[in-house]
Amino acid sequence: MGKQAVLEVTDLYKNFGKLKIINRFSLSVFEGDRHAIIGPNGAGKTTIFNLLSGLHKVSHGSIVFKGQDITGFPPHQINRIGIARSFQITNVFPKLSVFENVRPVLLSKHNVRYNLFKRVSKMEKITRESLAILDQVGLLEKKDVPAGFLSYGEQRALEVGITIASDPEVILLDEPTAGMSIEETHKAIDLIDRVTRGKTLIIIEHDMDVVFSIASVITVMHYGTVIATGEPETIRDDPQIKKIYLGEK
């Protein structure tokens, strides 16, 4: 018996009025895959993430997660069942400390609300887990620093920490190295490799060095649809894809 898809997307369409953004998009992601989605600007990559995470409603088609049809689920419900995402633009709370950016995710994960009578033991557990997440992403020593004071690369690392804090089974990372220097990009690759081990990763990325460093499977999009899916070597050696998407020297 072959591997079962943890995420199965079938004939997905997304229209904004008369404008078709996603057109018959299908994708199978298997447990443990590191699946990159690439394509030019305007191909519809971020729209796919918005559909998978519930931010946009599907016009037609289905999204199935571990055998459950989650088409139309709202974002909070999708997060609770095990799918979490980052955003293309840094999405942290700049005036809150690094620790305070991560802790609310753990509070939600453990169904704890702010009140005067919360159990001390549970709050201690949440604090330990929050600090462990910060340690994973290399920000433990800056736990009390306002997030707005972090470097750009550190803010992106914090966002990865926020994304993994709910302990999702599937992690969606949207352009995690966008705007980074070469040194920051190398650190980000190491971080992503480390924190997503044992998880299923779907990543949107323009930097082909990042894609080929991380991905085990690559899907190429063009005008809202899939034109190729395969192992990195297959995609790299495809003359048409090389010419249009990866560039030729």
Spatial separation of the C-alpha atoms in residues 62 and 69, rounded to whole Å:
7
Mention every residue, 6+ apart, whose C-beta is less than 8 A from residue 152. Answer: 90, 179, 180, 184
Mention every residue, 6+ apart, whose C-beta is less than 8 A from residue 49. Answer: 85, 172, 174, 202, 204
Q: How many CB atoms lie within 10 A of CB 123?
A: 15
Spatial separation of the C-alpha atoms in residues 87 and 49, rounded to whole Å:
9
Question: If you search the block for the tokens 């289905």, which residue do you land on?
Answer: 62
Spatial separation of the C-alpha atoms in residues 138 and 7, rounded to whole Å:
30
Instruction: Determine how β-strand 19-30 pairs with β-strand 200-204.
Output: unpaired
Instruction: Determine how β-strand 200-204 pairs with β-strand 34-38.
Output: parallel
Mention every residue, 6+ apart, whose C-beta is less than 8 A from residue 182. Answer: none
According to DSSP, the residues that pair with 203 across neighbouring strands are: 36, 173
Domain count of the fold of the chain: 1
Sheet strands side by side (includes 19-30): 19-30, 5-16, 60-65, 68-69
Q: What is the CATH number of the domain that holds 202?
A: 3.40.50.300
* pLDDT tens sequence across 60-105: 999 999 999 999 999 999 999 999 999 877 789 999 999 999 999 9
Question: If you search the block for the tokens 């009578």, which residue do you land on?
Answer: 117
* pLDDT tens sequence across 34-63: 999 999 888 899 999 999 999 999 999 999
Quickly state the pLDDT bin for 114 (edges 50, 70, 90): low
Taking 80 as the threshold, does the pLDDT of residue 192 lie above it? yes
The distance of Cα 242 from the centroid of its chain, to the nearest Å, equals 25
* pLDDT tens sequence across 147-161: 999 999 999 999 999
Q: What are phi and psi of 110, to 5 degrees?
A: -95, 10
* 37: enclosing H helix or E strand: strand 34-38
Angle 72-177-152 (CA atoms, 0-180°, nearest 5)?
A: 105
Averaged pLDDT score across all residues of the chain:
91
Per the CB < 8 A criterion, the answer to whether 181 and 153 are in contact is yes
Which has the closest alpha carbon to 27: 6, 10, 49? Answer: 10
Residue 107 belongs to what domain range?
A: 5-246
Quickly state the pLDDT bin for 246 (edges 50, 70, 90): low
